Amino acid sequence: MSRSYVALFGCVLLIACLGTGSAAGAPTGASIVEIYPNTHHPDNAGEYVVVAFPAESDLAAFSLADGETSTPLGTETVSGTVAFSRTPETTREMVEYPVYELPERFEMAQSGETIRLRRNSEPVDEATYERAPDGERWILADDGWEWRPRGATEFDARDLPAERATAFSLPDSPETPIETLRDADERLYLAGYSFHSERALESLIAAHERGVEVRVLVDGTPVGGQSKAEAAALDRLSAAGVEVRVFEGSARRYRYHHPKYAVVDDRALVMTENWKPAGTGGESSRGWGVVVEGEAVATELAAVFEADAGWEDTAPWDRSLAGTLVEADPPDGEFADRFEPTTAEVESVRVVTAPDNAEVETLSLLSEAEESIRIQQPTIARDHAFLEAAVDAAKRGVEVRILLDSSWYVEEENRELVRWLEDQAEAGGLPIEARLVDSERFEKLHAKGVVVDDHTAMVGSLNWNANSVENNREVALIVESEAIAGHFATVFETDWEDGGGGRPSLPVGLGLGVAAATGGAVLVGSRVLRFD
């Protein structure tokens, strides 16, 4: 989806999710294209309005008004897209446009209002917004007005060539991600939600010591707090000279940095599992992962890493950033290896990112299904567009099967979803089924994957809920390959045959509280369990 700004000509009414923008006819065609009313700075310094002037215009004829105050725009002659601010020095640090100082005081309401552009006191354009989220811009995109965090990326997903790929599952193949890290020769960029894998840590330090460029980026404020194990791991990496950065502070572009990937030379590793014993260590979760060999895919994923690690909402790791550290329950599961990794040629790969393009790409994938859709998710929001698209596919005659987690903290809501889907299937005669997993081969289902028509697989960190799709940084790959899709279909079928009941394992403790982020966190007594 294109994110470019558009100029307004004539009389246009635009309606978007949280407000409206409109233009009244004017000879100049000048229009408001962006408003930033709620900054991260003291006294809201840096707030600005961006106006597009298609033709050379004398600012002396123009003014901005908000219903309470009005200010002229200046005396210069301008053309193109320019910003206006009462604190231009601060604004220039945030935008690429020329910035002009407003000659009179003009403060925008964070609670929402209408900003009007006038020429010789006649209306030229106006834009209305409701309550302004902290640090987000109200911008005019191709499909209307929308809030977008300042500094947010605008990656498009596209078909990329690749030589081959290796599909693997967890807990069966914990050696695959570690061996991928160990093979680094030139660069190793690792991104995650959390990190405290001893084997991954040792691989990163060893790569750094042999001259590989090693960089790490993780979330600085995960749900439930940062664990002591993770803080110790990041300390060791930093002390060894590895560049470690964390998402933190009030200027965060994303609610959580939740992807699980690595760029290793010209390979891209993307998983559903976190860099910790329960995930990549193979000691708890059912997960999916894929390693793609291909310069184009690695370059695309490296660009995501660079964009995320290089902005002002990340900082070098320092123990003081962690706040209060928590104890996390160490996993102790031992599971037999059943599924060997599958290496095969691929037709194409798409790098999917949230919030940039994940919604569009996932809906497109589901809408193009002709025969079958297999879905594995820890849990799914009943009102989410992805589930609606899956039900719509069933209405077209596509066989849809959904496998959900049966862990105690999601069992009740997942059983309710299964019952609801059963009702939909019965009422409409739809070929759609859902189950809770019940397996002795892993502790919980944490995979976030889709297999369509036994030909296309989507693997990554994307949960099927609004927070993950709209607010988090997430990364997934869509891989076109019968063999790769077949690997995950086989894993799915085996897990499906084990489903139908659900094996809750409620830990001993008093007082339960659940917080939702991507998965969430559970407070048991004074300890935090995380299911992210």
- Residue 110 buriedness (CB in 10 A; 0-12 / 13-18 / 19+): middle
Concatenated DSSP letters of 223-237:
TT--BHHHHHHHHHH
For the entire predicted model, the pTM comes to 0.84
CB-based contacts of 225: which residues, under 8 Å, 6+ apart?
A: 323, 324, 325, 326, 528
Q: Copy the structure tokens of residue 242.
A: 């590895």
Q: Which residues pair with 95 in a beta bridge?
A: none
Q: Is the pLDDT of residue 336 over 90?
A: no
Nearest to 104, CA basis, from 64, 61, 59, 72: 72
User: What is the set of domains in the chain, with CATH numbers?
Assistant: 12-149 (2.60.40), 164-524 (3.30.870.10)
Tens-place pLDDT, residues 94-103: 999 999 999 9
> Residue 284: which pLDDT band, with cuts at 50, 70 and 90?
confident
Q: Where are the beta strands (DSSP E) in 111-220?
A: 113-119, 122-129, 136-141, 144-149, 164-170, 187-192, 213-219
SS3 58: strand
Give the mean model confidence (pLDDT) for residues 244-254.
87
Q: Which has the minimum average pLDDT: 1-5, 121-125, 261-265?
A: 1-5
Maximum CA pair distance of the chain?
77
**Signed CA dihedral, 73, 132, 252, 273: sign only:** negative
SS3 126: strand
User: Is there a contact between 380 and 402 (Cβ–Cβ < 8 Å)?
Assistant: yes
Give the mean model confidence (pLDDT) for residues 239-268.
94
Phi, psi of 13 (to 5 degrees): -115, 125
**Signed CA dihedral, 502, 506, 512, 516: sign only:** negative
In the prediction, which pLDDT does 329 show? 66
In the prediction, which pLDDT does 143 show? 85
Q: Is the pLDDT of residue 486 over 90?
A: yes
Q: Copy the structure tokens of residue 481.
A: 């390959």
Q: Which has the minimum average pLDDT: 216-220, 316-320, 502-506?
A: 502-506
In the prediction, which pLDDT does 338 show? 77
**HSE-CB for 148 with a 13 A CA cutoff:** 21
